[in-house]
C-alpha cells in the first residue's frame, strides 16, 4: 500500500470517528432531553378523547416536565389508554388520587398532559397505577364558549342601542333627564340645596367642635363638673340633701294627708265638730243658751246690788275702788 493510500485511509478513519462521536453526542443529547436514561415509573390514564396527544408528548407537574407519553392505544368502547413514563424522583409528589388533564404548551403549542398531584393524606402512586381524569376544556369547547359570549355581547349591545335610542327620544327617567330642561333645572336646584346643606352641616360641625374645645378649657364650670372630683362630690352631696328634703316633704305631705283624713273622720272630737251637722247645731244652741244665761246672771247680780241686805257691801266696795283710783292718779301726777 502506498503512502498516499495510507494517508487517505487515515483521513477517512478520522472522519468516521468524528461522525461516530457526533452521533453518540446527538443520541446522548436527545436522550437527555427525552430523559431516556433517567429511572422512571409507568402510569396510565384512560381518556374519552386525547385531542391529538401522541407518543413523545411531554408530561408536566406543577409546570415542571417530569416525563413523556410512551404509548397510545385504544381501550374498551372507543376510549384511549395513554401510557406515561414518569421520573422516579417525582413519584413522591404524585398521590393515588391525582388526576391527569389534557392541555397544550401555550395557546397553539404542542399537546401535553398535566398531572394534578392530589392530597397529601393519600399514599403516593406506584408503578403501573392508573390515574383519574380531570375534565378540561378543549379548543372546540373554548370556541363554543366564545361564540356564546359573542351572542351575549351582541344581545347586550342591541339592548343598549334600544335603550339609548329611547333616551334620545326622551323615553324613561333617563330620557326625561336628558331632554326635559325643567327636570334639569330641578336637578340643578337640588344639587345647590345639597351643597348648601353640606355647607351648613360643616358649619354646625365646626361650631360643635369649637364648643367641645371650650368645654375642655380649665377653669370653666363645665370642665370642673367633668374633671374636678371635689365639685362632683359637692354636687353629689347636694343631690343627696335634695333627696332627703324631698323625702321629708313627702313624709310631711303624708302626715298632712293623715291629719286631714282624721279631720274628715267622725271618730274624733274635731272631726265630729267639722263634719257632723247635728253636733254643730247642738253647739250653736249651747252657745245661745250660754249667752242667755250670762245675761240673766248679769240681771241677777244687778238685782243683788240693790238688795238691802247686800247694799252696804257693794257701797263699801265702790268707795274702796274709788280711793284706790284716786291714789293711783295722784301717784301718776307726782311722777
pLDDT digits (tens, 9 = 90+) for 248-279: 888 888 877 777 776 666 666 666 556 666 76
d(CA 268, CA 258): 13
Helix (H, G, I), strand (E, B) or coil at 70: strand
- Copy the grid coordinates of residue 222: 363645665
145 and 132 share a domain? no
DSSP-assigned letters across all residues of 249-309: HHHHHHHHHHHHHHHT-SSSHHHHHHH-HHHHHHHHHHHHHHHHHHHHHHHHHHHHHTSTT
In a domain, residue 198? The reply is: no
66 and 108 share a domain? yes
d(CA 197, CA 201): 6
pLDDT greater at residue 122 or residue 260:
122
92 and 156 share a domain? no
Give the burial class of 93: count Cβ atoms within 10 A of its Cβ; 0-12 exposed, 13-18 middle, 19 or more buried: middle
Taking the CA atoms of 319, 320, 326 and 329 in sequence, report the sign of the dihedral they define. negative
d(CA 259, CA 250): 14
Residues sharing a CB contact under 8 Å with residue 124, sequence separation 6 or more, in sequence order: 91, 92, 93, 94, 95, 96
* Nearest in space to 74 (alpha carbons), one of 82, 63, 66, 62: 82
In a domain, residue 159? The reply is: yes
104 and 54 share a domain? yes
Structural domain range at position 52:
37-136
In a domain, residue 109? The reply is: yes
In a domain, residue 304? The reply is: no
In a domain, residue 53? The reply is: yes
Residue 77: what pLDDT? Answer: 86
Q: How confident is the model at residue 229 (pLDDT cuts 50, 70, 90)?
A: low
Q: How confident is the model at residue 50 (pLDDT cuts 50, 70, 90)?
A: confident
pLDDT average, residue stretch 153-160: 80
User: Contact, 304 vs 310, CB < 8 A?
Assistant: yes
Using the predicted structure, report yes or no on whether residue 82 has a pLDDT greater than 90: yes
145 and 54 share a domain? no
Percent of the chain scored above 90 by pLDDT? Answer: 17
d(CA 101, CA 62): 12
Using the predicted structure, report yes or no on whether residue 195 has a pLDDT greater than 80: yes
In a domain, residue 156? The reply is: yes
pLDDT greater at residue 34 or residue 108:
108
Using the predicted structure, report yes or no on whether residue 44 has a pLDDT greater than 90: yes
Residue 81: what pLDDT? Answer: 93
The strand pairing partners of 320, in sequence order, are none
Question: In total, how many domains does the chain have?
Answer: 2
Q: How confident is the model at residue 43 (pLDDT cuts 50, 70, 90)?
A: very high
pLDDT average, residue stretch 104-124: 84
116 and 155 share a domain? no
Amino acid at each position: 500500500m502506498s503512502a498516499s493510500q495510507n494517508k487517505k485511509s487515515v483521513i477517512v478513519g478520522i472522519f468516521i470517528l468524528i461522525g461516530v462521536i457526533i452521533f453518540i453526542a446527538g443520541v446522548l443529547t436527545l436522550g437527555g432531553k427525552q430523559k431516556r436514561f433517567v429511572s422512571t415509573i409507568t402510569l396510565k390514564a384512560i381518556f374519552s378523547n386525547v385531542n391529538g396527544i401522541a407518543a413523545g408528548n411531554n408530561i408536566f407537574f406543577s409546570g415542571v416536565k417530569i416525563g413523556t407519553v410512551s404509548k397510545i392505544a385504544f381501550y374498551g368502547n372507543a376510549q384511549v389508554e395513554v401510557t406515561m413514563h414518569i421520573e422516579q424522583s417525582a413519584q413522591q409528589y404524585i398521590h393515588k388520587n391525582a388526576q391527569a388533564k389534557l392541555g397544550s404548551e401555550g395557546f397553539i403549542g404542542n399537546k401535553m398532559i398535566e398531572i394534578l398531584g392530589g392530597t397529601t393524606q393519600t399514599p403516593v402512586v406506584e408503578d403501573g397505577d392508573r390515574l383519574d381524569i380531570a375534565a378540561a376544556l378543549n379548543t372546540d369547547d373554548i370556541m363554543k364558549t366564545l361564540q356564546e359570549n359573542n351572542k351575549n355581547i351582541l344581545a347586550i349591545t342591541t339592548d343598549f342601542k334600544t335603550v339609548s335610542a329611547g333616551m334620545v327620544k326622551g323615553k324613561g327617567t333617563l330620557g326625561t333627564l336628558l331632554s326635559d330642561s325643567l327636570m334639569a333645572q330641578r336637578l340643578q336646584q337640588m344639587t345647590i340645596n345639597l351643597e348648601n346643606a353640606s355647607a351648613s352641616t360643616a358649619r354646625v360641625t365646626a361650631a360643635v367642635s369649637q364648643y367641645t374645645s371650650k368645654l375642655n378649657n380649665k377653669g370653666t364650670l363645665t370642665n370642673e363638673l367633668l374633671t374636678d372630683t371635689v365639685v362632683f362630690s359637692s354636687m353629689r352631696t347636694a343631690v343627696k340633701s335634695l333627696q332627703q328634703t324631698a323625702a321629708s316633704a313627702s313624709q310631711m305631705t303624708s302626715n298632712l294627708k293623715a291629719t286631714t283624713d282624721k279631720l274628715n273622720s267622725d271618730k274624733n272630737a274635731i272631726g265630729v265638730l267639722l263634719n257632723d251637722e247635728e253636733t254643730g247645731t247642738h253647739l250653736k244652741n249651747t252657745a245661745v243658751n250660754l249667752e242667755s244665761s250670762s245675761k240673766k246672771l248679769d240681771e241677777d247680780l244687778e238685782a243683788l246690788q240693790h238688795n238691802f241686805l247686800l247694799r252696804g257691801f257693794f257701797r263699801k266696795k265702790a268707795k274702796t275702788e274709788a280711793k284706790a283710783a284716786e291714789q293711783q292718779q295722784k301717784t301718776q301726777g307726782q311722777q
